[in-house]
């Protein structure tokens, strides 16, 4: 595959754009084809078998477009389907769990790591395994936070409703006396950085001091840049193109996506998997 080919990035919906944003900063010359499977969002409440099937559909659609590598910008898919995709595709495939775990291990110190994710990600134990590979001491407190996926897809990012939802989901990270039980909180779902400020503010208000919030997007993008450079697969030249594909509702997707990426998205193509 040519180094001018695009990177294929996918998620169940809007969340993976948090990774696209970091990729455009880390590797501005790369062309990116983003696929949001918003006809079938959320993935995080479904069984591993269904998630694997959806992930195969997304990855094949991107491979058919001639991408040079695939970035799974979804923690749920990275948790349950990464090995299968690697075995099945004749392309490099990378996920978001290992980079996020590495960032968490670096900031948590001796304290347990709090992970907010989808039900599928938390149930899979993927963060526990990824952290165990880095440190034998790190404990995890996982909390499924599925409502945040729906709120993000709706573009309902501030106000009382998201705040109360976040507050409720953060409860297990504090003990009965109100003291924090975690050294950091990982945003273990690519939709959650849309609530990053809110989550950080709620953690700080409750703990009386800031608690680091870790997002895997920047680490993931850094890994991809290093990987492309190592393999002589990086593109040089002018700013790359971003093509956006969705499986439903292109108009409303473009609206929320543009707000989030900070640049209007002129064209969103609707595809059928
Ligand atoms: N953004 C995805 C994740 O990182 C999936 C959210 C969902 O579809 O439930 O897990």
Return the best residue to mutate from 95, 149, 217 for the ligand 1 pocket (most ligand atoms within 8 A of CB): 149
The mean pLDDT value for 55-70 works out to: 98
What separation in Å is there between the alpha carbon of 76 and the centre of ligand 1?
Answer: 6
Give the pLDDT confidence score for residue 265 in this predicted structure. Answer: 87
pLDDT in tens, 134-180: 988 889 999 999 999 999 988 899 999 999 999 999 999 999 999 99
Tally Cβ neighbours within 10 Å of residue 160: 7
- Is the alpha carbon torsion for 67, 192, 52, 96 positive or negative? positive
Give the pLDDT confidence score for residue 105 in this predicted structure. Answer: 92
- Is the alpha carbon torsion for 24, 55, 192, 213 positive or negative? negative
As a whole number of Å, the CA-based R_g of the chain is 18
| Strands lying side by side in the sheet with 113-117 | 140-144, 113-117, 184-188, 213-215
Q: Is 9 in the pocket of ligand 1 (CB under 6 A)?
A: no
Q: Is 46 in the pocket of ligand 1 (CB under 6 A)?
A: no
Q: State the pLDDT confidence band at 64, using cuts at 50, 70 and 90.
A: very high
Q: Is 18 in the pocket of ligand 1 (CB under 6 A)?
A: no
Q: State the pLDDT confidence band at 56, using cuts at 50, 70 and 90.
A: very high
What separation in Å is there between the alpha carbon of 92 and the centre of ligand 1?
Answer: 21
What separation in Å is there between the alpha carbon of 140 and the centre of ligand 1?
Answer: 20
What separation in Å is there between the alpha carbon of 175 and the centre of ligand 1?
Answer: 28
Q: State the pLDDT confidence band at 16, using cuts at 50, 70 and 90.
A: very high
Which residues make Cβ contacts (< 8 Å) with residue 66, sequence separation at least 6?
1, 5, 6
Q: Is 190 in the pocket of ligand 1 (CB under 6 A)?
A: yes
Q: Is 79 in the pocket of ligand 1 (CB under 6 A)?
A: no
Protein residue with its CA nearest to atom 9 in ligand 1: 44
pLDDT in tens, 216-234: 999 999 999 999 999 999 9
Give the pLDDT confidence score for residue 155 in this predicted structure. Answer: 86
Q: State the pLDDT confidence band at 48, using cuts at 50, 70 and 90.
A: very high
Please give the Cα distance from 258 to 255 (Å, whole number).
Answer: 5
The mean pLDDT value for 64-88 works out to: 97
pLDDT in tens, 178-217: 999 999 999 999 999 999 999 999 999 999 999 999 999 9
């Amino acid at each position: 595959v040519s180094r001018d080919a695009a990177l294929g990035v996918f998620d169940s919906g809007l969340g993976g754009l948090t990774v696209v944003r970091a990729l455009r900063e880390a590797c501005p010359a790369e062309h990116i084809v983003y696929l949001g499977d918003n006809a079938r969002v959320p993935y995080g409440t479904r069984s591993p078998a269904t998630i694997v099937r959806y992930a195969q559909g997304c990855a094949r659609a991107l491979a058919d477009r001639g991408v040079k590598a695939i970035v799974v910008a979804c923690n749920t898919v990275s948790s349950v389907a990464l090995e299968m995709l690697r075995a099945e595709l004749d392309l490099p495939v990378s996920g978001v769990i290992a980079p996020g775990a590495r960032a968490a291990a670096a900031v948590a110190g001796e304290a347990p790591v709090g992970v907010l994710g989808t039900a599928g990600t938390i149930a899979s134990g993927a963060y526990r395994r990824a952290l165990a590979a880095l440190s034998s001491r790190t404990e995890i407190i996982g909390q499924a936070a599925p409502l945040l996926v729906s709120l993000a897809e709706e573009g309902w990012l501030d106000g009382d409703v998201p705040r109360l939802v976040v507050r409720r989901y953060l409860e297990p990270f504090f003990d009965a006396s109100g003291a924090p039980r975690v050294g950091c909180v990982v945003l273990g779902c690519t939709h959650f950085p849309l609530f990053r400020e809110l989550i950080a503010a709620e953690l700080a208000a409750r703990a009386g001091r800031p608690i680091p919030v870790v997002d895997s997007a920047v680490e993931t993008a850094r890994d991809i840049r290093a990987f492309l450079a190592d393999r002589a697969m990086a593109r040089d030249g002018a700013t790359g193109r971003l093509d956006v594909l969705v499986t439903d509702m292109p108009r409303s997707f473009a609206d929320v996506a543009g707000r989030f990426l900070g640049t209007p998205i002129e064209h969103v193509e609707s595809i059928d998997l």
